[in-house]
Structure 1
Amino acid sequence: MSLLIKNEIGKIFGKKSSWIYMVIILIAVVLGGILQKNFTEEPSKNWREETQARVNQLEQDLKTAPEEEKEWMMADLQQQQKYLDENINPNAMSNWHFMNQTVYGITTLVTLFAVIVSSAIVSSEFSDGTIKQLLIRPHERWAILLSKYLSAVIYSLLLVIVLIVSGYIAGSLIFGTGEFTAKFFEFTLEGGRKIAEIGPQFFLKVLYYLPSLLVFITISFMLSTLFKSQALAVGIGIFVLFLSSTLGGLIVMLAEKYTWAKFLIFPHMDLTVYALQDKILEDVTLPISLLTLSVYYVIFMLLTFTIFQKRDVSI
């Protein structure tokens, strides 16, 4: 099996596109850092004095403000006071702030490239006419298919590593190194804010991102075994990727009325929600989402290997 995996990884890196994807991630990280540096205020050493002055000004303005403005002014006042109470610089910026804000957002590119590679890894054998030569080797079909799947997973994880390492280096060079456990306010999906530690929060998001990435790889890999056309497999894989985010939000709203909607896969595809809040819906927590994804994962894998075992490889 190890030789099969090594051979498949060699095939992946034998294509220029596989290296180009890594270069694009590096460029995206550097450009993201430069843009954030140019459009972000420089952290002030006197931020406490400035924040206290803001609090004092808001307290004065509240006395004469129109009723329709008092609500947002009070919310701003409370937030400014929280910065002081928790000793959190609202304009703080370091490599870990960059990692949590910008680098994590680039995981969308990682998922896209993982989907493209996974969608093409089997279908390209049909398109190139090399599937027969592949299957005449003294290996079971399931072993050949598993080696391709594991190779796609390994390559995708390498993309994640490239993103994290390049993000840390670029962030350190552009913004300087900061405290790993520095506190900051993270926005929740409901519009509130929670106090978190910047470094651990970033890695928590990455940890929650990995199961979703694995499911996208699995769906794309299944499509790669279903279609002999590489273009069709990749196209549908990308379509599913972008459709999932849209459907996820719609089905979450639908699930508030219909219980069955909670068991569809799309609301559970973005587990990073749990880095911000404990529930997606009133009774949908992380264990339920993981269980739901696990069930779909097993179904996708069974379909993939069953179809490939019985597939007519005539070209």
Structure 2
Amino acid sequence: MIALIQNELMKIFGKMASWIYMIIIVLAVLIAGIIYMKFSGEPNPNWREDIQAEIHMLENQLPSAPEEEKPFIQTQIDQNQEYLDKDIDPTAKTNWHFMNEVVIGVSSLVTLFVVIVGSANVAAEFSDGTIKQLLIRPHRRWSILLSKYIAVIIYALLLVATLVVSGYIIGLILFGSGDFNMKIFEVTLEGRKEAIVGTQFFLKMLYYLPSLLVIMTIAFMLSTLFKSQALAVGIGIFVLFFSSTLGGIILMLADKYVWAKFLIFPHLDLTVYALQDRILEDITLPVSLSILALYYAIFMIITFFFFQKRDISI
């Protein structure tokens, strides 16, 4: 099995595109860092005095403000006071702020490249006409397919590592070394949540991995179902880009239709659980993980069953 995995990794890294994807991730992090540095403003060492002055100004405006504006002004006062009470600098910009706010966003590129590689992994063997040479080896079909799957997982993890390492290094260069334990406010649907900036980044990355695995598995399944590499990749990218849209629509239907909660799309982005405890009233992280695990098992069964029975004529 190890030899098969090594062979599949050689195939993946034998393609120039696999290296280009890594370079694109590093460049994307760098460009995002420059944009973030340019438009996010400079840290303000006198932020407490400025916030206190702003609170005083808003309090003076409040009595004479129109009734419809008073709730908004009071909310601003309360939020500013909370910065002071919690000792949270809203102007802070360190490498960990960059990682938590920007690098996490670049992870969508990792998912895209994993979908492309996973979708093409088996379909390319049919498109290139090499599937027969692959299956006449003295190995069972399932072991050949499993080695391909593991190789894609390893490549996906390498892309994630490239994202995290490049993000940390670029963050150090652009913003300097910040306090891992610095407190921040995260905006959620339920208001603002106090968090530790470094912990929050790794929590989001941890919740990102199951979603990446499931989306990669969907792409890999499509690769075994279609002989056309272009078709497999196209459908894989379609699923990736429309999953969030479909998830939002299904969540709106969930209040009316109970079965909608058990569709896969609302559960594909687990990073929301780094910001809030539940998607809906009765949908929490353990529920989402259980639903993803069920779909994952179904996708794997379909993938290996279909490949075992598939006609290899080309």
TM-score range, shorter chain: over 0.9
Provide the rounded CA distance (Å) in 1 between the counterparts of 2:285 and 2:266.
Answer: 12
CA RMSD of aligned residues (A): 0.6
1:186 aligns with 2:222: no
CA distance in 1, matches of 2:143, 2:205: 30
Instruction: Please list the CA deviations of residues 126-153 of structure 1 after superposition, one character each: whole Å capped at 9, or x if unmatched.
Output: 0000000000111000000000001001
**How many angstroms does 1:71 deviate by?**
1.2
Identity score, percent:
67
CA distance in 2, matches of 1:165, 1:263: 36
- What amino acid maps onto 1:218 in structure 2? T
Which position in structure 2 is the counterpart of 1:273?
Answer: 272
The correspondence of residues 158-237 of structure 1 with structure 2, limited to 5 A, is 158-190=158-190, 192-237=191-236
The structural deviation recorded for 1:41 is 1.2
Q: Does 1:132 align with 2:132?
A: yes
Q: Partner residue of 2:10?
A: 10
One-letter amino acid of the structure 2 residue matched with residue 69 of structure 1? E
Quote the residue 1:241 is aligned against: 240
1-side partners of 2:288 and 2:36: how far apart? 34
Q: Which amino acid aligns with 1:19?
A: W
- Matches for 1:1-315 after TM superposition, within 5 Å: 1-190=1-190, 192-315=191-314
Question: For residues 277 and 65 of structure 2, what CA distance do their matches in structure 1 show?
Answer: 37
Aligned AA (2:231): L
CA–CA distance in 2 between the matches of 1:176 and 1:293?
A: 38
Tell me, in whole angstroms, the C-alpha distance in 2 between the residues paired with 1:35 and 1:241: 26
Structure 2 Cα separation of the partners of residues 80 and 73 of structure 1: 11
Shift of 1:189: 3.1
Report the secondary structure of 1:117's partner residue. helix
SS of 1:166's equivalent in the other structure is helix
- 1:292 to partner: Cα distance: 0.4
* Structure 2 length-normalised TM: 0.99
Partners of 2:255 and 2:207 lie apart in 1 by 23
Structure 2: give runs of 5+ residues left out of the alignment.
none
What letter matches 1:223 in structure 2?
L
Distance in 2, Cα, partners of 1:262 & 1:63:
46
Aligned residues between the structures: 314
| Aligned amino acid, residue 253 of structure 1 | M
SS in 2 for 1:68: coil
Normalising by structure 1, we get a TM-score of: 0.99
Deviations 1:187-244 (A, max 9, x none): 1134x11000000000000000000000001000000000000000000000011111
Look up the SS of the partner of 2:6 in the other structure.
Answer: helix
